[in-house]
Amino acid sequence: MSIPFYDFPSSPILIIGALGIAVAIVVFFVAYQKYFNSPFNKELAEKKKDLIKEQKELNQRLEKIEQDLKNL
């Protein structure tokens, strides 16, 4: 009894197609990374602005708490 094996065809079209898929995946990954790390990304700029605002508010609250502790 023999076990059948699949012979992978060595057609140049299949090799070019596989390389094309690999290149497309790499391009997608690089473009995704570059977009979300871009300074022109509006969502990232808004998030940074909100975080800076929140940091200022927290610093003000901390200063107030420190003042209250000194007054005790």
- For residue 13 the two structure tokens come to 């079209």
Same domain, 32 and 50: no
The predicted pLDDT at position 45 comes to 84
Same domain, 53 and 71: yes
The predicted pLDDT at position 40 comes to 80
CA dist., res. 45 & res. 60, Å (int): 23
Q: How does DSSP assign 49-64, residue by residue?
A: HHHHHHHHHHHHHHHH
Same domain, 49 and 32: no
- For residue 42 the two structure tokens come to 């509006």
Range of the domain at 56: 42-72
The predicted pLDDT at position 21 comes to 97
Amino acid at 47: K
The predicted pLDDT at position 2 comes to 82
Same domain, 50 and 29: no
Tell me the pTM: 0.49
Per-residue pLDDT of the chain (72 residues; tens, 9 = 90+): 788 877 777 788 888 999 999 999 999 999 988 888 887 888 888 999 999 999 999 999 999 999 999 988
